Amino acid sequence: MRELRNIIYNENHSDICTLDIYLPEEDGLHPVFVYFHGGGMEGGSKEDPSDLIHITSKGIAFVSVEYRKYPQAKFPEFIEDATKAIAFVKEYGKTHNLFCEMYVGGSSAGAYLAMMVYFNRHYLNQYGMEPEEVKGWIFDAGQPTVHYNVLRERGLDSRLVRIDEAAPIYYVDHEVDATSQSKLLFITADNDMPNRLEQTRLLLKTMELFQYDMSKVEFQLMEGYNHCSYSILELVIDFIRIEIKNSIIAKDQHLG
Protein backbone atom coordinates (compact mmCIF):
# COMPACT_ATOMS: atom_id res chain seq x y z
CA MET A 1 0.00 0.00 0.00
CA ARG A 2 1.21 3.47 -0.91
CA GLU A 3 0.23 6.44 1.24
CA LEU A 4 -0.19 10.12 0.35
CA ARG A 5 -0.93 11.93 3.58
CA ASN A 6 -2.31 15.36 4.50
CA ILE A 7 -3.00 16.62 1.00
CA ILE A 8 -4.66 20.05 1.16
CA TYR A 9 -7.89 20.23 -0.82
CA ASN A 10 -9.02 23.67 0.36
CA GLU A 11 -6.28 26.31 0.56
CA ASN A 12 -8.58 28.68 2.46
CA HIS A 13 -8.65 26.22 5.37
CA SER A 14 -5.37 24.40 4.87
CA ASP A 15 -4.99 23.64 8.58
CA ILE A 16 -8.14 21.49 8.56
CA CYS A 17 -9.21 20.62 5.04
CA THR A 18 -6.82 17.81 4.20
CA LEU A 19 -7.20 14.25 3.02
CA ASP A 20 -5.20 11.02 3.00
CA ILE A 21 -4.95 8.79 -0.06
CA TYR A 22 -4.14 5.09 0.23
CA LEU A 23 -3.27 3.37 -3.03
CA PRO A 24 -2.98 -0.32 -3.93
CA GLU A 25 0.55 -1.56 -4.56
CA GLU A 26 -0.19 -2.26 -8.21
CA ASP A 27 0.21 0.56 -10.71
CA GLY A 28 -2.64 1.57 -12.97
CA LEU A 29 -6.08 3.08 -12.62
CA HIS A 30 -8.07 1.96 -9.60
CA PRO A 31 -11.61 2.57 -8.37
CA VAL A 32 -11.53 4.97 -5.41
CA PHE A 33 -13.71 5.21 -2.33
CA VAL A 34 -13.92 8.71 -0.83
CA TYR A 35 -14.97 8.49 2.82
CA PHE A 36 -16.21 11.00 5.42
CA HIS A 37 -15.82 10.02 9.07
CA GLY A 38 -18.51 10.32 11.73
CA GLY A 39 -18.60 12.22 15.00
CA GLY A 40 -21.64 14.49 14.80
CA MET A 41 -19.68 17.15 12.87
CA GLU A 42 -18.01 17.92 16.18
CA GLY A 43 -15.66 14.96 16.70
CA GLY A 44 -13.81 12.23 14.90
CA SER A 45 -10.96 12.52 12.40
CA LYS A 46 -9.76 11.16 9.08
CA GLU A 47 -7.56 8.71 11.00
CA ASP A 48 -10.62 6.94 12.46
CA PRO A 49 -11.53 4.47 9.67
CA SER A 50 -8.31 2.45 9.96
CA ASP A 51 -10.03 -0.80 8.95
CA LEU A 52 -11.25 0.64 5.65
CA ILE A 53 -7.66 1.17 4.56
CA HIS A 54 -7.54 -2.57 3.94
CA ILE A 55 -9.70 -2.20 0.82
CA THR A 56 -6.43 -1.38 -0.96
CA SER A 57 -5.60 -5.10 -0.81
CA LYS A 58 -8.60 -5.63 -3.13
CA GLY A 59 -7.34 -3.15 -5.72
CA ILE A 60 -9.46 -0.24 -4.46
CA ALA A 61 -7.95 3.14 -3.52
CA PHE A 62 -9.18 4.79 -0.34
CA VAL A 63 -9.45 8.49 0.51
CA SER A 64 -10.20 9.64 4.05
CA VAL A 65 -11.29 13.27 4.34
CA GLU A 66 -11.03 15.80 7.15
CA TYR A 67 -13.54 18.65 7.19
CA ARG A 68 -14.47 21.65 9.32
CA LYS A 69 -16.55 20.83 12.41
CA TYR A 70 -18.36 22.45 15.30
CA PRO A 71 -17.74 24.75 17.12
CA GLN A 72 -15.50 26.44 14.52
CA ALA A 73 -17.82 25.58 11.62
CA LYS A 74 -21.54 25.99 11.08
CA PHE A 75 -24.06 24.69 8.57
CA PRO A 76 -23.45 24.25 5.62
CA GLU A 77 -19.66 24.66 5.78
CA PHE A 78 -18.96 20.97 6.48
CA ILE A 79 -21.11 20.00 3.49
CA GLU A 80 -19.25 22.50 1.32
CA ASP A 81 -15.98 20.91 2.44
CA ALA A 82 -17.24 17.43 1.58
CA THR A 83 -18.27 18.61 -1.89
CA LYS A 84 -14.96 20.33 -2.52
CA ALA A 85 -13.10 17.19 -1.45
CA ILE A 86 -15.04 15.07 -3.96
CA ALA A 87 -14.31 17.51 -6.78
CA PHE A 88 -10.65 17.68 -5.71
CA VAL A 89 -10.24 13.90 -5.74
CA LYS A 90 -11.75 13.73 -9.22
CA GLU A 91 -9.28 16.30 -10.59
CA TYR A 92 -6.34 14.96 -8.60
CA GLY A 93 -6.94 11.47 -9.92
CA LYS A 94 -7.18 12.77 -13.47
CA THR A 95 -4.01 14.86 -13.15
CA HIS A 96 -1.96 12.03 -11.63
CA ASN A 97 -3.60 9.22 -13.62
CA LEU A 98 -4.72 7.35 -10.49
CA PHE A 99 -8.44 6.61 -10.47
CA CYS A 100 -11.18 5.24 -12.70
CA GLU A 101 -14.61 4.93 -11.10
CA MET A 102 -15.39 6.99 -8.00
CA TYR A 103 -17.44 5.87 -4.99
CA VAL A 104 -18.39 8.17 -2.11
CA GLY A 105 -19.74 7.53 1.36
CA GLY A 106 -19.46 8.01 5.07
CA SER A 107 -20.61 6.85 8.47
CA SER A 108 -23.04 8.64 10.79
CA ALA A 109 -22.36 12.39 10.36
CA GLY A 110 -20.18 11.49 7.38
CA ALA A 111 -23.15 9.71 5.80
CA TYR A 112 -25.28 12.79 6.43
CA LEU A 113 -22.69 14.87 4.54
CA ALA A 114 -22.63 12.38 1.68
CA MET A 115 -26.44 12.27 1.51
CA MET A 116 -26.66 16.06 1.41
CA VAL A 117 -24.19 16.15 -1.47
CA TYR A 118 -26.02 13.39 -3.36
CA PHE A 119 -29.61 14.54 -2.92
CA ASN A 120 -29.00 18.31 -3.18
CA ARG A 121 -27.51 18.56 -6.67
CA HIS A 122 -26.61 22.22 -6.08
CA TYR A 123 -23.44 21.29 -4.22
CA LEU A 124 -21.74 19.27 -6.97
CA ASN A 125 -23.21 21.44 -9.71
CA GLN A 126 -21.03 24.28 -8.42
CA TYR A 127 -18.04 22.26 -9.61
CA GLY A 128 -19.58 21.27 -12.92
CA MET A 129 -20.35 17.80 -11.59
CA GLU A 130 -23.49 15.70 -11.28
CA PRO A 131 -24.14 13.14 -8.51
CA GLU A 132 -24.36 10.46 -11.20
CA GLU A 133 -20.67 10.93 -12.01
CA VAL A 134 -20.08 9.06 -8.78
CA LYS A 135 -20.60 5.39 -9.60
CA GLY A 136 -21.93 4.47 -6.16
CA TRP A 137 -22.81 6.11 -2.85
CA ILE A 138 -22.62 4.38 0.55
CA PHE A 139 -24.62 5.89 3.42
CA ASP A 140 -23.85 4.23 6.75
CA ALA A 141 -26.20 5.24 9.59
CA GLY A 142 -26.77 8.74 8.26
CA GLN A 143 -29.61 11.03 9.38
CA PRO A 144 -32.05 11.78 6.51
CA THR A 145 -33.76 14.63 8.40
CA VAL A 146 -32.07 17.77 9.76
CA HIS A 147 -29.02 16.55 11.68
CA TYR A 148 -29.37 16.78 15.44
CA ASN A 149 -26.36 19.06 15.76
CA VAL A 150 -27.73 21.40 13.11
CA LEU A 151 -30.86 21.57 15.26
CA ARG A 152 -28.68 22.35 18.25
CA GLU A 153 -26.95 25.09 16.23
CA ARG A 154 -30.40 26.61 15.71
CA GLY A 155 -31.07 26.53 19.44
CA LEU A 156 -33.62 23.73 19.08
CA ASP A 157 -34.12 20.45 20.90
CA SER A 158 -31.87 17.94 19.12
CA ARG A 159 -34.59 15.25 19.38
CA LEU A 160 -36.90 17.15 17.04
CA VAL A 161 -37.65 15.84 13.58
CA ARG A 162 -37.37 18.62 11.02
CA ILE A 163 -37.38 18.45 7.23
CA ASP A 164 -36.12 21.54 5.43
CA GLU A 165 -33.12 22.65 3.36
CA ALA A 166 -30.75 21.00 5.84
CA ALA A 167 -32.35 17.56 5.41
CA PRO A 168 -31.33 15.10 2.67
CA ILE A 169 -34.92 13.82 2.34
CA TYR A 170 -36.11 17.37 1.58
CA TYR A 171 -34.53 17.11 -1.88
CA VAL A 172 -36.40 13.95 -2.86
CA ASP A 173 -38.93 16.15 -4.61
CA HIS A 174 -38.72 15.20 -8.27
CA GLU A 175 -38.50 12.12 -10.43
CA VAL A 176 -34.99 11.09 -11.44
CA ASP A 177 -33.52 9.63 -14.61
CA ALA A 178 -33.35 5.99 -13.60
CA THR A 179 -31.05 5.13 -16.51
CA SER A 180 -28.23 7.29 -15.13
CA GLN A 181 -28.95 6.87 -11.42
CA SER A 182 -25.98 5.90 -9.28
CA LYS A 183 -26.05 2.70 -7.23
CA LEU A 184 -26.91 3.45 -3.59
CA LEU A 185 -26.26 1.48 -0.42
CA PHE A 186 -27.95 2.39 2.88
CA ILE A 187 -26.72 0.72 6.08
CA THR A 188 -28.52 0.98 9.43
CA ALA A 189 -28.43 -1.03 12.65
CA ASP A 190 -31.63 -2.44 14.11
CA ASN A 191 -30.68 -0.81 17.43
CA ASP A 192 -29.34 2.42 15.93
CA MET A 193 -29.78 5.89 17.40
CA PRO A 194 -33.44 6.66 18.25
CA ASN A 195 -35.50 7.17 15.09
CA ARG A 196 -32.55 6.57 12.73
CA LEU A 197 -33.88 3.31 11.32
CA GLU A 198 -37.43 4.66 10.97
CA GLN A 199 -36.20 7.79 9.21
CA THR A 200 -34.08 5.72 6.84
CA ARG A 201 -37.13 3.62 5.92
CA LEU A 202 -39.09 6.85 5.33
CA LEU A 203 -36.36 8.10 3.00
CA LEU A 204 -36.38 4.85 1.03
CA LYS A 205 -40.18 4.86 0.69
CA THR A 206 -40.13 8.49 -0.43
CA MET A 207 -37.52 7.65 -3.07
CA GLU A 208 -39.76 4.84 -4.28
CA LEU A 209 -42.73 7.22 -4.56
CA PHE A 210 -40.61 9.54 -6.73
CA GLN A 211 -39.74 6.63 -9.00
CA TYR A 212 -36.09 6.12 -8.14
CA ASP A 213 -34.88 2.86 -9.62
CA MET A 214 -35.07 0.80 -6.43
CA SER A 215 -33.21 -2.05 -8.11
CA LYS A 216 -30.20 0.25 -7.78
CA VAL A 217 -30.92 0.93 -4.11
CA GLU A 218 -29.72 -1.56 -1.50
CA PHE A 219 -30.65 -1.53 2.17
CA GLN A 220 -28.52 -3.47 4.65
CA LEU A 221 -29.96 -3.94 8.14
CA MET A 222 -27.24 -4.72 10.68
CA GLU A 223 -29.11 -6.98 13.08
CA GLY A 224 -27.94 -7.15 16.69
CA TYR A 225 -25.83 -3.98 16.44
CA ASN A 226 -25.92 -0.46 17.83
CA HIS A 227 -25.06 2.74 15.99
CA CYS A 228 -21.89 2.15 13.93
CA SER A 229 -20.78 -0.68 16.22
CA TYR A 230 -19.92 -2.85 13.21
CA SER A 231 -17.35 -2.77 10.41
CA ILE A 232 -18.53 -1.83 6.93
CA LEU A 233 -15.29 -3.06 5.30
CA GLU A 234 -16.71 -6.18 3.66
CA LEU A 235 -19.92 -4.39 2.65
CA VAL A 236 -17.89 -1.69 0.90
CA ILE A 237 -15.66 -4.23 -0.84
CA ASP A 238 -18.62 -6.30 -2.05
CA PHE A 239 -20.55 -3.21 -3.18
CA ILE A 240 -17.67 -1.82 -5.25
CA ARG A 241 -16.54 -5.15 -6.71
CA ILE A 242 -20.08 -6.04 -7.80
CA GLU A 243 -20.45 -2.65 -9.49
CA ILE A 244 -17.12 -3.10 -11.28
CA LYS A 245 -18.26 -6.52 -12.49
CA ASN A 246 -21.60 -5.11 -13.65
CA SER A 247 -19.83 -2.30 -15.51
CA ILE A 248 -17.64 -4.82 -17.34
CA ILE A 249 -20.66 -6.94 -18.29
CA ALA A 250 -22.58 -3.88 -19.52
CA LYS A 251 -19.59 -2.74 -21.58
CA ASP A 252 -19.19 -6.18 -23.13
CA GLN A 253 -22.89 -6.33 -24.00
CA HIS A 254 -22.68 -2.89 -25.60
CA LEU A 255 -19.65 -3.88 -27.68
CA GLY A 256 -21.28 -7.16 -28.58
User: How many separate domains does the chain show?
Assistant: 1
pLDDT for the residue 246: 72
pLDDT for the residue 35: 98
pLDDT for the residue 254: 47
H or E segment at 105?
strand 99-107
CA 54 to each of CA 20, 60, 231, 234: distance values in angstroms, whole numbers, following the listed order: 14, 9, 12, 10
pLDDT for the residue 250: 53
Distance CA 217, CA 137 (A): 10
pLDDT for the residue 253: 52
Do residues 233 and 52 lie in contact, with contact meaning Cβ atoms separated by under 8 Å?
yes
Q: 118: domain CATH number?
A: 3.40.50.1820
Do residues 144 and 190 lie in contact, with contact meaning Cβ atoms separated by under 8 Å?
no
Strand partners, 35: 64, 105
H or E segment at 77?
helix 77-96
- Across the chain, which has 256 residues, the per-10-residue mean pLDDT values are 96 97 96 98 96 96 98 97 98 97 98 98 97 97 98 98 98 89 97 98 97 97 98 97 72 50
Could you give the count of Cα atoms lying within 13 Å of 84 in the half-sphere of its Cβ? 19
Domain that holds residue 190: 2-255
Distance CA 208, CA 143 (A): 18
Phi, psi of 135 (to 5 degrees): -60, -40
Cis previous bond, 194, omega within 30: no
Q: Which distant-in-sequence residues (6+ apart) come within 8 Å of 232 by Cβ?
A: 52, 107, 138, 140, 187
Give the N- to C-terminal CA distance of the chain in Å, as an integer. Answer: 36
H or E segment at 4?
strand 2-8
Distance CA 6, CA 105 (A): 19
Q: Which distant-in-sequence residues (6+ apart) come within 8 Å of 123 by Cβ?
A: 79, 80, 82, 83, 116, 117
pLDDT for the residue 255: 44
